[in-house]
Structure 1
Amino acid sequence: MASFAIEVTRLVFKTLSVFSPQTAGRLAFRLFSVTPGRKPKNNKERAAVATAAPVMARGKPVSLSFSGGWAMARHFEAKPGRAPAKRILLVHGWGSRIDYLATMIDGLVAGGADVVALDLPGHGASPGRTLTMPTAVRAIDAVWRHFGGFDVAVGHSFGGASLACAAGGLVCDVPSHVAKRMVLIGAPSDMTWLFKGFGRYLRLSEKGQDALEGMVVRLSGRRIEELDAARVLSILTVPTLVVHAEDDKEVSADHARRYAAAGPNVELHWANGFGHRRIVSAAPVIEHINAFVHAQDRQAAA
């Protein structure tokens, strides 16, 4: 049963969207963009941050500026003495931070990669309390320009969708940035379902929903239907590994199936049993990603 505060909020938005749909849409978008508090919420999260501290200490902090703000990243250099390392851009999901990707960072570096992990605005070490897809794409643009590009782009959840949107040039004033390979973990394949679901949650009127979605056009220059990551993969034909769990309760496995249907360039790997969050720390998942990242090198060596 919804709490009293939620019911009051819904009533306010339902009423406002009838009498002033533009105002309701604008306020709904502002609420939609607010990021969760970055402090660990429970003992499990506090333990995860503490465990990640030694890994984070090995990364060199990098400050990145872009139009409208700035973000922080950490550069984890590959171990010396190996062949030229693949450079990987790693992006976390909504409400997360790079600390929670420490196990994956360790695994990718051990596999022979140079890893740059980006804290999206409003998350981790990056400032702010809001995040939108256009802002995420601008942060990706900033880290891309700073490092001169990446061999592989790896993203979890919202981070994966953001990397796909960045590759497709879906924010009109930001150039597309396409890695040679992509890995999308538990990532949504489009943004329509999220906005429609949020509108239903707030009980917006039809005009209020139109106003909410109109904010996307104002910020990105694209209609919400155009923010389709699966369609990007079908056009770019970049070799892409999609990792998803059928027991993912936050991003439906149907999104993985949409990606897989995009074309023969997409390889779908089910990581069942790891849900939406544990999937980024699962040893079999990291092993599979390393195999995908270095597949061409191993074929050449063979």
Structure 2
Amino acid sequence: MGESGMSIADPSGPLDQPTQAEPLTIRLTRAAAAIASRGAPDLSAGLLERIFTTPRRYSVPARERDWMVGARTDHLELAGGLRIPLYRWGSGPTVLLIHGMSGRGSQMAGFTAPLVAAGFSVVAFDAPGHGAAPGRRFSLPEYAQVVLQIAAHLGPLAGAVAHSVGAAAATVAMGAGAEIDRLVYFAPLEDMADQLLRLARFLGFSTRVAGRTQHRLETRLGVPMEALRGRDIARTMTRRLLVFHDRYDRMVPFSDGATLVRHWPGARLITTEGLGHARILRDPDALERTVRFFAGPMSGHESS
């Protein structure tokens, strides 16, 4: 997910525990949502669905513009006709960078220099509705299809680094046959239905409205949310996985990463504290461990 705002699985603050320091606008939004949940549940479900599937575009900070220097840009036409930008650096085995909801390719580009120095080619992209790509609304099943198409276009991938909903998309894509040798996940979302419920609670919508929203999404997309649950796909995985997750992540709970690792054979979890949901992508130790993970076999247990 991105850095702030309200979009799919992306509330800007603690999901389940409101605090006295929350702005008046948030408290008023909750009160209005509670009233609407009782008086107009169908309308409320439509609104929650739109919030849940509408990414926000943010300005690109200076550090990301610096990371993008030297990128070779081309485009990939997806099934359905949308053309998205691909950004490439270096040469060698390819590592794909997969951003989260309301993120962008440049947000992941801090990984490029160390990976290129280690002998890899690196590819980032803007998913539909993000960065410089066209589109307005987006969902996890659609994102998984994008990852599948990019992976097929680039050929078998040496690895992928994925963040948040991007990690969930990578997991679903792997379950559908994407060829990625090794994966590194940062703050991976494991259960989309739980995240929808957390967002509903954060905004003040009722559990009933959350259930109606889930039904609307499943009907429109033709995919039940339980088919997207990471733990169930993880049990079938044979590729190596390294997960970084901050214990105090306010957007995707630490329990999501821990659950995914528990069900993914051989996966390793590195726990951080104080890096949150987005700064973890810029942590020097995490970058170093990521490059080491891709560069060769690791011996022993990867400790936190």
Q: Give the shorter-chain TM-score range.
A: 0.7 to 0.9
Equivalence for 1:250: 251
Q: 1:53 to 1:180 in 2, by over 3 A?
A: closer
Q: Which runs of 5+ in 1 are unaligned?
A: 41-45, 79-84, 170-175
- The answer to whether the Cα contact below 8 Å between 2:75 and 2:85 also exists between their aligned partners in 1 is yes
Distance 2:206 2:247 in 1: 33
Equivalence for 1:131: 138
Deviation of the 1:280 alpha carbon: 1.7
Distance 2:204 2:298 in 1: 52
Equivalence for 2:89: 76
Equivalence for 1:212: 213
Equivalence for 1:37: 57
Secondary structure of 1:260's counterpart equals helix
Please point out which of 51, 54, 58 is paired with 2:66: 51
Secondary structure of 2:157's counterpart equals coil
Secondary structure of 1:243's counterpart equals strand
Distance 1:178 1:26 in 2: 36
Q: 1:246 to 1:202 in 2, by over 3 A?
A: closer
Secondary structure of 1:236's counterpart equals coil
Secondary structure of 2:101's counterpart equals coil
Equivalence for 1:114: 121
Deviation of the 1:273 alpha carbon: 4.3
What CA deviation, in whole Å up to 9, does each residue of 1:45-94 have, x standing for no partner? x322332242xx3333223323373322212232xxxxxx3211111122
What CA deviation, in whole Å up to 9, does each residue of 1:130-175 have, x standing for no partner? 2211221222123123223322122011211111122123xxxxxx
Distance 2:288 2:27 in 1: 45
Equivalence for 2:232: 231
Higher mean C-alpha deviation, range 10-19 or range 67-76: 10-19
What CA deviation, in whole Å up to 9, does each residue of 1:193-243 have, x standing for no partner? 210012223333444222100133124433223321232122223211112
- The answer to whether the Cα contact below 8 Å between 2:88 and 2:122 also exists between their aligned partners in 1 is yes
- The answer to whether the Cα contact below 8 Å between 1:62 and 1:72 also exists between their aligned partners in 2 is yes
What CA deviation, in whole Å up to 9, does each residue of 1:171-192 have, x standing for no partner? xxxxx31412221111122212
Distance 1:264 1:33 in 2: 31
- The answer to whether the Cα contact below 8 Å between 1:77 and 1:114 also exists between their aligned partners in 2 is yes
Distance 1:185 1:16 in 2: 35
Q: 1:241 to 1:39 in 2, by over 3 A?
A: same
Structure 2 length-normalised TM: 0.81
Structure 1 length-normalised TM: 0.82
Deviation of the 1:258 alpha carbon: 0.8
Distance 1:203 1:143 in 2: 37
Please point out which of 18, 41, 48 is paired with 1:21: 41
Distance 1:215 1:141 in 2: 25
Higher mean C-alpha deviation, range 243-252 or range 283-292: 243-252
Please point out which of 144, 147, 150 is paired with 2:154: 147
Return the letter of the residue paired with 2:152.
R
Distance 2:80 2:37 in 1: 31
- Number of paired residues? 279
Match status 1:91 vs 2:105? no
Please point out which of 161, 182, 189 is paired with 2:168: 161
Give the 4+ runs in structure 1 shifted more than 6 A. none
Equivalence for 1:43: none
- The answer to whether the Cα contact below 8 Å between 1:76 and 1:114 also exists between their aligned partners in 2 is yes
Distance 2:37 2:83 in 1: 34
Deviation of the 1:19 alpha carbon: 4.3
Secondary structure of 2:149's counterpart equals helix
Return the letter of the residue paired with 1:120.
A
Q: Which runs of 5+ in 2 are unaligned?
A: 1-19, 300-304
- The answer to whether the Cα contact below 8 Å between 2:243 and 2:268 also exists between their aligned partners in 1 is yes
Deviation of the 1:264 alpha carbon: 3.5
